[in-house]
């Protein structure tokens, strides 16, 4: 399988980077290919320009062509980012805006009443999201709910035709010790084995 991994975190020493490295190693050890994009490292431009909304592949902006080809060739997509204000960091939001383009990721078709509804077009059928945050589950549930679950499952992956979805939220990162983090990384290895088993 080909697996696309998108990482959105500015600090190379972050736990998010450890999550990404763990995914890459485990998936490759299992005999699959990884397309990896560290958005900050490649200084991904998150601003949607005039030609980015094109449905014509030739008109897709030069700087996202490699993202586009990786996306359409992937069987699985893994998104890794911290919770920032209950949302993905702006650089990840820009990746969504610019790379998940109409007629590639989705299209609108008419239902029997003539109303538009979205049809997902992505080849990938597995969508995994790994998040980190500093809020306990109790407080999150009571005060803020969990916008990231809805954004990634309903608004992005299901919308684009990715039927299998799973998200893990690792918290509270700021209070975690080395042993806790190693346990989380072991959990991620098992998650990779379950979706991308030894070929
Ligand atoms: C701009 C910004 C906004 C943040 N917003 C939230 C938030 O809404 N909820 C939360 O639990 N943590 C929030 N955090 C904390 C991050 O989620 C936390 O630092 C990160 O998940 C820790 O992972 P890391 O060690 O890989 O950086 C925020 C951090 C930043 C920098």
Query: Alpha-carbon torsion 155, 72, 169, 17, what sign?
Result: negative
pLDDT at res. 61: 84
Q: What is the pLDDT of residue 68?
A: 93
Give the up-direction half-sphere exposure of residue 31: CA atoms within 13 A in the CB hemisphere. Answer: 3
Nearest CA to ligand 1 atom 14: 84
Q: What is the mean pLDDT of residues 15-38?
A: 98
Query: What is the per-residue pLDDT for 146?
Result: 92
Interval 50-69: pLDDT, tens: 655 555 545 788 899 999 99
| Per-residue pLDDT tens over the stretch 124-181 | 999 999 999 999 999 999 999 999 999 999 999 999 999 999 999 999 999 999 999 9
* Ligand 1 centroid, distance to 16 Cα (angstroms): 11
CA of 78 to the centre of ligand 1 (A): 19
* pLDDT at 29 (0 to 100): 98
2-195: which CATH topology? Rossmann fold (3.40.50)
**CB distance 176 to ligand 1 below 6 Å:** no
Query: What residue's CA is closest to ligand 1, atom 8?
Result: 85
Q: What is the pLDDT of residue 53?
A: 55
Computed over every residue of the chain, the mean pLDDT equals 94
Q: Binning pLDDT at 50, 70 and 90, where does residue 11 land? A: very high
What are the extents of the domains in the chain? 2-195
- What pLDDT, on the 0 to 100 scale, is given for residue 135? 96
Compare 2 and 63 and report the one with higher pLDDT. 2
Percent of the chain with pLDDT over 70: 95
**pLDDT tier, 49 (very low <50, low <70, confident <90, very high otherwise):** confident
The 10s digit of each residue's pLDDT in 96-109 is 999 998 889 999 99
């Amino acid at each position: 399988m080909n697996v696309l991994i998108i990482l959105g975190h500015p600090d190379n020493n972050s736990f998010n980077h450890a999550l990404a490295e763990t995914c890459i190693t485990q998936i490759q050890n299992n005999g699959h290919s990884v397309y990896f994009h560290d958005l900050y490292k490649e200084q991904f431009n998150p601003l949607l320009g005039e030609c980015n909304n094109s449905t014509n592949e030739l008109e897709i902006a030069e700087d996202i062509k490699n993202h586009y080809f990786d996306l359409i060739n992937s069987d699985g997509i893994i998104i890794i980012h911290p919770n920032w204000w209950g949302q993905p960091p702006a650089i990840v939001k820009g990746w969504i805006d610019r790379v998940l383009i109409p007629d590639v990721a989705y299209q609108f078709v008419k239902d029997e009443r003539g109303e538009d509804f979205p049809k997902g077009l992505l080849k990938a059928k597995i969508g995994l999201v790994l998040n980190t945050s500093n809020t306990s589950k109790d407080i999150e549930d009571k005060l803020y709910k969990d916008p990231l679950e809805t954004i990634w499952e309903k608004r992005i992956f299901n919308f684009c035709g990715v039927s299998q979805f799973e998200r893990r939220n690792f918290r509270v990162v700021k209070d975690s010790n080395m042993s806790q983090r190693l346990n989380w990384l072991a959990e991620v290895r098992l998650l990779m084995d379950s979706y991308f088993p030894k070929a």
